[in-house]
Amino acid sequence: MKKIKLIANKVPYLYLIFVFAAFFLLDFILRKVTISYSMLGLYDRIPLFFVLGWCLIFCGLIAWIPGKIKIVFMVLLISVFMILTLVHGTYINIFNKFFSFSDLSLLGEGTQFMDVSYINIRKIIIAAVIGSGLLIGIAIMLLPKDKPKHVKNWMVGTGVLLLGLGSVFFAEKSFPEASDPVAWDASSNITNIYQDFLDTPRCLLMSGLYQYTFKDLWEIINPFEKAERHQVWEELDSYFEEQESVHIDNEKTGIFTGKNLILVQLENIDEWMLTQENMPNLYQLKESGIDFTQHYSVAFATGKTFNTEFIVNTGQIPMIKGQAPSYIYSKNNYPFSLANMFRNAGYTANSFHAASGSIYNRSQAHKAFGYEKYYNFEDMGMDDYTMDSQLIGGFELMTENSPFFDFIITISAHGPFSLDTTAAQAHIDEVKETETISDDTYLAGMAQAKETDEFVGELIKKLEESGNIENTVLAFYTDHYAYSTISSELELELKGTNDPNLLQKTPFFIWSADVKPEKITKVTNTADILPTLANMFYLDLEYKYCAGEDAFDETYQGYAMFSDFSWYDGEIYYDPNAADNVSDYEKSTAEMINNKINVSWDVLESDYFSHLEDTN
């Protein structure tokens, strides 16, 4: 200990080397472990100078601070980034994105459904966090007892701080020129990505942990508007004026005109669950209805359930990062939402879900969508909100007026998959009789899905008994694939891919007593559901305002567009990060998809439809 004190007094600023190393270690290991998401190399000058700069800034600030406050500041600062490193390391494995402070708006919802089984973090990240803490401990031990004069501290601190600021400034200036935001290659331009600051994996990995953190905070608290709302409206007016406004009728136009619709969002029901043995009721409806065999529940916003719910109801795509769409867009106007279009056609429109209306702010959000009322488990007389079969208690509420449009969200198959859940316990014996896979998590998932199927069976029975079956259309889609619920090895075996985008392939099908069985092999995505239903029910929709397309439009080739601006059309999987020798078709499709996504974001951010209604 005496030797340490002696060294500390002889080399009074030696401790700053260990402070620097502590912060550098956190960033370096986090980026090294997740570098596969990056567009830049681990040692590329942009992230490297950002990281070096911030490590120097921290050292400069610490050198400035006197006495015991220095120790408190060091410990607090490193603790914050140790926690963030652990959170990022966990988050990326669950959501394929890094944490953003905007995700805190979903904290209440997340904690209610989070389970320890979701937590999966690389040991090397944990080791880096521990190592970082040890380095700060050594730095504290090396703090000189014979303190240098305050003037010297200020001189050293200022010099180091200026060096750090210069490094960050150099990194900022090292970005290439930005592309036109709607150009086909804009999504692969690192400057566009950094300026938009929406794609969290690529943004963190090109800017480093510290620049990402402070820029992320600034994006939330920035008091200045990125663009004046009226300017955005003018740009959108020009864009939509150039779009084709006429929707050409096709073979499915108006086939369900005047019929009731029950639209069901299946929570976490993946393709491998929906088998004849495990979910016979849904399987029968799928096989005897219109089955979209290449459908993708594309994930943009963090809360994947409400992400899909939002897209289906509004026809718009929420931003990848930012406050949850259930909160920030709950005061927007949605004249072309499903609920509003059906109500304009003379229908009643109500929504049903077991969870409280405070979850995802559904009471307010569904009101904004145009629903007359959101019914929760109490309204439907459910004893156990996790049991989908009890949703049938709301049947009279669903069908008391005609024609009706009902939006139902199931819950029993929500993760985690566990044999301890009530839904799993109710059906596990049946599942074990037919399944050959012995994995407990898999079996629990199948059992929980079976509870959802039981509700569907009861729903069909009630529709038959009430005389509504012949005049009611049933449409089913899944909110997201069953992520982080089974092992990655088993998931690969069941789904045939480990690509984060292609994993999003999920069920979507429409049933009516008078339709013939049909398999639609065209690729579709969540945004296509609203215009497709609007076409089939002959609703009054301006199709040009939709982010998706009518799946039966003969001019629509079909594609899934993903949050990283990659896309898949059934043959070509286009990744803007790995696009070489791009064909004219790929170039034009990429540009079109860039337009779709960016325009949808602008529509939501500016509440464009409020402007549109004011001008009409």
User: What's the confidence (pLDDT) of residue 200?
Assistant: 84
Spell out a b/e string for 394-405, using b for 16 or more CB atoms within 10 Å of the CB, else e. bbebbbeeebbb
How many other CB atoms are there within 10 angstroms of residue 265's CB atom? Answer: 23
Could you give phi then psi for residue 375, rounded to 5 degrees?
Answer: -100, 125
Q: Are 269 and 286 in contact (CB under 8 A)?
A: no
Q: Are 333 and 359 in contact (CB under 8 A)?
A: no
User: What's the confidence (pLDDT) of residue 182?
Assistant: 47
User: What's the confidence (pLDDT) of residue 4?
Assistant: 54
User: What's the confidence (pLDDT) of residue 6?
Assistant: 57
109 contacts: CB under 8 Å, gap ≥ 6: 303, 359, 360
Nearest-angstrom CA–CA distance, 136 and 19: 6
User: What's the confidence (pLDDT) of residue 68?
Assistant: 83
Nearest-angstrom CA–CA distance, 15 and 122: 29
User: What's the confidence (pLDDT) of residue 184?
Assistant: 47
Across the chain, which has 616 residues, the per-10-residue mean pLDDT values are 56 88 97 91 95 97 89 96 96 84 65 58 95 95 71 85 96 83 58 79 93 89 61 90 86 98 97 96 98 96 86 93 66 94 98 88 88 95 95 96 97 90 95 91 95 98 97 97 82 89 96 97 98 98 96 96 94 86 91 93 91 74
> pTM for the whole thing?
0.77
- Residue 123's identity, in one-letter code, is K
Nearest-angstrom CA–CA distance, 101 and 105: 8
How many other CB atoms are there within 10 angstroms of residue 7's CB atom? Answer: 15
Nearest-angstrom CA–CA distance, 264 and 424: 21
Query: 433 in the Ramachandran plot: left (φ > 0), alpha (ψ -120 to 50) or beta?
Result: alpha
User: What's the confidence (pLDDT) of residue 232?
Assistant: 87
